[in-house]
Structure 1
Amino acid sequence: MPHPDVLHCDVLVIGSGASGLAAAVTAAHHRLKVIVAEKESQLGGTSAWSGGWLWIPRNPLAIAEGNVEDGDAPERYLRAQVHAEELDERQRTFLERGPEMIGFFQRHTAVRFYSGSRMPDMRDGDGAARGGRSLCAQPFDGRLLGEWIDRLRPPLDIVSLAGMGIAGGADMANFFNASRSPRAALYVAGRLLRHFRDLLWHRRGMHLVNGNALVARLLRSALDLGVGLLTEAPVTRLLEQDGKVVGARIERFGGPVEIHASRGVVLACGGFPHDRQRIARLMPHAPNGSEHRSAAPVGNSGDGLRLGEQVGARVADDLVHAGAWAPVSLVPRHDGSLGHFPHLIDRAKPGFITVRKDGRRFGNEADCYHDFMNALFAATPPGEPHEAWLICDHRAQRRYGIGWAKPFPFPTAWYERRGYLYKGRTLAELASRCAIDPAQLQATVERFNRHAAQGEDPDFRRGASAYNKAQGEALHGPNPSLRPLEHAPFYAVKLLPGSLGTFAGLRTDASARVLDEHDAPIPGLFAVGNDMASVMGGHYPSGGITLGPGMTFGYLAGLALAGSVIEQAPVDQQVRFRKTAEQHLVDT
């Protein structure tokens, strides 16, 4: 066996999603030498494909807007959502230190956020807020990454428009309303012209939004701080010395390389959404592992969990849910593989319903993706596959699209020929093509339509909650989420169990230190993101509860590794210089 080359650093971060980069940037800001090792050829992990939202109650942007929460509302809401009389140490730490994390990145790095002042919590109830707890990254000009733009994972192709990301809120609303509003049409035309110009000049879009913008901003910050970034560098094992994790061995360009990290190692490999063996053990709906189809990148295959277990760590197997459930549909790719389209938006729009093969609705289509999937699991009889059909009428498809099948002006015939989209001139014809009970489907739609015309859903109260309303169509009344299905032809897409990521990670303490079987910290080893066991215990309280805790504990891991807080005037000067350069690029 060849003798490995050796690299030296203070901190090694394994994985390059937002949580890992948060740890890397924080440690580097405090004058530590940091290396990030990513096994894929592109940086960003699942974060680069995500919506980029963080849930951080009492964050500085909300306070600056005058949205100051009185009392203990965030604590009450979180207690209610995780079904606990008292929050545990990690949950308290997250609520206390999350705002501090946002302040740090806003002051000292290239990361800039927008306030989600109108984004409500996912469920009404004690302590729930109608906005002010969520944030997302501001758009970023990819040209500021220089040659590193080619190493940034682009937006998920089957969700984006020719590789162009579309942000939530006003950006997406303009696309939905382009055929109705001249102003929206002009906005969309400008976005498309800029995108295709970027494709011509740079071979990819440069107006980065959502999680792509968040990762790009973290990546820019890491580069400014001298963080070493290695791609195509899979880790084969951790290195130990005198009971402490002191580095890792990687494979790079066909040969072994040892990275010695004097302060410690941070696991940030994205959980196990494509580890079929662990899925089979921890997800009851997927006893063979193959019944679960995650929307996360296929490279997220449980490396961090296996590395941790090799040195005595434990994976939490007692969470209420092992993953962040989401319905997906299978998209046929040109190479014969299948992409997994996550249905996060379309279900809640007017003109949509979902049914099982028996033709009956089983839940509230406008609820969050996690709750929607739990309703499907509960409604599926033992021994039957967990499948459903998302159905809409022609008017809804042309306005919003349905999954991968894009709205007007894209023709539906192409998606039909690929076997993705099912179409029927009548509901009975659609039912026949989808093997749905035709008589029951007709009865279900008739009942749904009768009440939807009045803005009501007596069966599942769709559109009643603040979140349901926000996910619907603001311009539609009386209920933003409800409209009868009455404009033929009708369309359907099959929904299957999937996830946005996993919750069952390594057990850690409130500093993100990995714990052994005796709940003692393993010296030198930290875990963040989906390699860390869910801070929420496997519950899904609100949008952004992956990246919010992920970046918070990434920040805390960086502080713990640094051991102290050091002001960095030279770094802040670099940030001010970079902001001037960024504005120049935006102006041009």
Structure 2
Amino acid sequence: MSKASTVLAGIPDGARYDVAVLGAGAAGMAAAIYAALESRRVILIERTEYVGGTSAFSAATTWIPNTHHSKAIGAEDSFEKASGYLDRAVGNRSSKTIRDAFLKAGPDAIRIIEEGADVRFRPRPFHPDYLSELEGSTSFGRALEPLPFSAKGLGNDLDLIRPPIPEFTILGGLMVDRDDIANLLAMTKSLKAARYSTKLIGGYFLDRLSHSRGTRLVMGNALIGRMLEAARRLGVEIAVNTRVTEIVEYEGRVTGIVAVQNGVARRLSVSGGVVLASGGFARHPELRQKYLPKPVPEHSPSAPGHTGELHDLALNLGAHHGEGAQQNCFWAPVSVRKRADGTTAIFPHFVFDRSKPGIITVGRDGKRFVNESTSYHLFVSAMFAANKDGSTIPAYLITDSAGLKKYGLGMIRPGGKRLKPFLVDGYLTEANTLAELAQKLGIDAGGLAASVASMNEYAGTGVDPDFRRGTTIYERANGDPAHGPNPTLGPIGAAPFYSVKLYPGDIGSAMGLVTDENARVLRRDGTPIEGLYAIGNDMHSIMGGAYPGPGITIGPGITFGYIAATHASRRAAS
């Protein structure tokens, strides 16, 4: 048993804390760090055996406008510009007061966690907002990413971090980010790329001689690794494999929790506040059926901890869920494959294939129904909207041999090699003609032929009159910059032809518990449940179920972690 999993066992019944954080994803770990920076006694409780939640699986892009990073790269942004953009993107689906609280506190949240805890970020010189056609959008400056992190200093704590999705690694576990991928693809063409790649791969194999996994962490694992190191250094007590079965209330104020580990229950006293950061409701069986669209998605690439159990506890105290969201969950299209060990791989199709030239998506009628280059959230929203009699669930990602070789398709990497296992297990369908492909997939051959013919015409003109694909900065950014006249439109004609099935996948709750601008959970009459806070996906999203930019869950999660921890720390001190 790991060091972290024995923490609760060493705590006596009745132990006192200033702040208790329930859930160890990026939002929860941030809240624990901020409270510790306020010199509070903090316990961080995680239901599963790992810290990191879905954040550890993700790229960990963090959307916070107007940080010092934005200014450092010359982004022309302002509070007013960002607020206006959210007004247009979200409208009245969430509270403008709470959105503006996020925009005001976000820059301080990033500065403090970097300076006080060494949790480091960097901006990208080009990383557009998703709704780049709206006034107030920007092409860079708002989206931050965690710096790569060497976890050698974590010791055994490295094994506490939720490992990445295997299909997003290479060589049996080497994590790679966008810079690594670019160098790996160019290693036979550039001496600089070859040196970079050799050092990367060599370092990984050296790590495996003495560690259970590679110690160079990137993306979500890097963020969680830095947060874990900071939490340990600041004295945060961490308990994994621990369930909270009761939130204790006395005279309308939350005063503690009951936590159970290894069958032993302990009642812990909390003076400042209990912060809910468990990842939302989306794996709660009843709430999933109640709040998700039909057919209720079967697949989710997110981590398993967001069971919604804490929502039940909060609802019993008078909390309530938000209403009026554009979508109650955030979405990504996914493909599904059974792994050799019997587990199921659920692969989110974010940007690597859908928007590339020579790749289209069709429904059962063989016709396109969506702008393939739109955001993953809007892509799945379109799947649901067009799904008459099951016509677009599943949908079919279609390309030819040239597209497969150049861009890959889902779990199949660029190069077009080693296809046999994917063909044998049915993940990939191959055919010598479009008609044969349609027959194998059970879709309309005439519709598919017409769709491909139209796309071949659009590839030459650079204009998609059906769905206007590749007309926004964001859409073009996800295409192939070396391809023209439109980086997202290309011909399909080089046999054989290929397809992968796409399904809706939920990547996080958008609907959550209603709070005020201090992240305090509210009753239906608008009064706060004193001492109870909700952040991350437990909090009703300030984006109102819209998806205006990369990292719009982690950015607000960290920021409201800062807000909640600061407010709870002041309560503890009073």
TM-score by length of 2: 0.93
Matched, 1:314 2:320: yes
Q: Distance in 2 between matches of 1:177 and 1:306?
A: 51
Matched, 1:11 2:19: yes
Name which of 470, 479, 499 aligns with 2:486: 479
Partner of 2:306: 300
Give the secondary-structure state (helix, strand or coil) at the position aligned to 2:294.
coil
Matched, 1:97 2:97: no
Give the secondary-structure state (helix, strand or coil) at the position aligned to 1:295.
coil
Superposed, which structure 2 residues align to 1:454-465 within 5 Å? 454-465=461-472
Deviation at 1:298, TM superposition (A): 2.1
Deviation at 1:486, TM superposition (A): 2.3
Deviation at 1:310, TM superposition (A): 2.3
Q: Distance in 1 between matches of 2:428 and 2:202?
A: 29
Matched, 1:166 2:176: yes
Q: Distance in 2 between matches of 1:446 and 1:258?
A: 67
Partner of 2:4: none
Q: Distance in 2 between matches of 1:358 and 1:102?
A: 48
Superposed, which structure 2 residues align to 1:182-197 within 5 Å? 183-197=192-206
Name which of 486, 501, 506 aligns with 1:494: 501
Partner of 2:80: 72
Partner of 2:6: none
More displaced stretch, 225-234 vs 78-87: 78-87
Name which of 46, 51, 56 aligns with 1:48: 56
Aligned partner letter, 1:367? T
Give the secondary-structure state (helix, strand or coil) at the position aligned to 2:15.
strand
Partner of 1:36: 44
Give the secondary-structure state (helix, strand or coil) at the position aligned to 2:169.
coil
Name which of 123, 126, 129 aligns with 1:121: 129
* Number of corresponding residues: 560
Give the secondary-structure state (helix, strand or coil) at the position aligned to 1:223.
helix
Matched, 1:280 2:289: yes
Q: Distance in 2 between matches of 1:460 and 1:391?
A: 17
Q: CA contact under 8 A between 1:348 and 1:481: conserved in structure 2?
A: yes
Q: Distance in 2 between matches of 1:160 and 1:464?
A: 32
Q: Distance in 1 between matches of 2:532 and 2:159?
A: 31
Matched, 1:235 2:221: no
List alignment gaps of at least 5 residues for structure 1: 567-588
Matched, 1:524 2:528: no
Q: Distance in 2 between matches of 1:383 and 1:396?
A: 27
Q: Distance in 2 between matches of 1:66 and 1:4?
A: 52
Deviation at 1:249, TM superposition (A): 1.3
Give the secondary-structure state (helix, strand or coil) at the position aligned to 2:293.
coil
Q: Distance in 1 between matches of 2:355 and 2:207?
A: 33
Partner of 1:244: 253
More displaced stretch, 86-95 vs 232-241: 86-95
Aligned partner letter, 2:302? A
Partner of 1:362: 369
Moved over 6 A (4+): none
1:38-64: per-residue Cα shift (whole Å, max 9, x none)?
A: 111111101101111111111110112
Q: Distance in 2 between matches of 1:71 and 1:38?
A: 35
Partner of 1:437: 444
CA, structure 1 residues 256+435, in 2 after alignment: closer, same or farther (shift >3 Å)? same
Superposed, which structure 2 residues align to 1:84-483 within 5 Å? 84=92, 88-123=96-131, 124-161=133-170, 162-168=172-178, 170-178=179-187, 181=190, 183-286=192-295, 289=296, 291-345=297-351, 346-382=353-389, 386-408=393-415, 410-483=417-490
1:105-154: per-residue Cα shift (whole Å, max 9, x none)?
A: 12111211111231011121211111111101100001122221011111
Q: CA contact under 8 A between 1:314 and 1:516: conserved in structure 2?
A: yes
Q: CA contact under 8 A between 2:66 and 2:79: conserved in structure 1?
A: no
Deviation at 1:165, TM superposition (A): 2.4
More displaced stretch, 545-554 vs 295-304: 295-304
Deviation at 1:21, TM superposition (A): 0.8
CA, structure 1 residues 179+459, in 2 after alignment: closer, same or farther (shift >3 Å)? farther
CA, structure 1 residues 409+148, in 2 after alignment: closer, same or farther (shift >3 Å)? farther
Deviation at 1:383, TM superposition (A): 5.8
Q: Distance in 2 between matches of 1:392 and 1:409?
A: 12
CA, structure 1 residues 521+176, in 2 after alignment: closer, same or farther (shift >3 Å)? farther
List alignment gaps of at least 5 residues for structure 2: 1-10
1:378-397: per-residue Cα shift (whole Å, max 9, x none)?
A: 22215656220111222222
CA, structure 1 residues 87+501, in 2 after alignment: closer, same or farther (shift >3 Å)? closer
Aligned partner letter, 1:30? E
Give the secondary-structure state (helix, strand or coil) at the position aligned to 1:10.
strand
CA, structure 1 residues 483+71, in 2 after alignment: closer, same or farther (shift >3 Å)? same
Q: Distance in 1 between matches of 2:93 and 2:501?
A: 40
Q: Distance in 2 between matches of 1:477 and 1:561?
A: 54
Deviation at 1:434, TM superposition (A): 1.1
The percentage of aligned residue pairs carrying the same residue is: 39
Give the secondary-structure state (helix, strand or coil) at the position aligned to 1:453.
helix
Aligned partner letter, 1:378? A
Q: Distance in 1 between matches of 2:59 and 2:420?
A: 29
Alpha-carbon RMSD across the aligned residues, in angstroms, is 2.2
Deviation at 1:425, TM superposition (A): 1.9
Aligned partner letter, 1:393? D
Deviation at 1:536, TM superposition (A): 1.2
Deviation at 1:178, TM superposition (A): 4.7
Q: CA contact under 8 A between 2:49 and 2:160: conserved in structure 1?
A: yes
Aligned partner letter, 1:167? D
Q: Distance in 1 between matches of 2:278 and 2:147?
A: 25
Name which of 64, 69, 83 aligns with 1:61: 69
Q: Distance in 1 between matches of 2:50 and 2:363?
A: 38
Q: CA contact under 8 A between 2:95 and 2:542: conserved in structure 1?
A: no
Give the secondary-structure state (helix, strand or coil) at the position aligned to 2:166.
coil
1:324-380: per-residue Cα shift (whole Å, max 9, x none)?
A: 011111121234342321110221122211000110011111110011112222222
Q: Distance in 2 between matches of 1:518 and 1:309?
A: 14
Aligned partner letter, 1:462? R
Q: Distance in 1 between matches of 2:78 and 2:56?
A: 34
Give the secondary-structure state (helix, strand or coil) at the position aligned to 1:136.
strand
More displaced stretch, 486-495 vs 21-30: 486-495
Q: CA contact under 8 A between 2:93 and 2:325: conserved in structure 1?
A: no
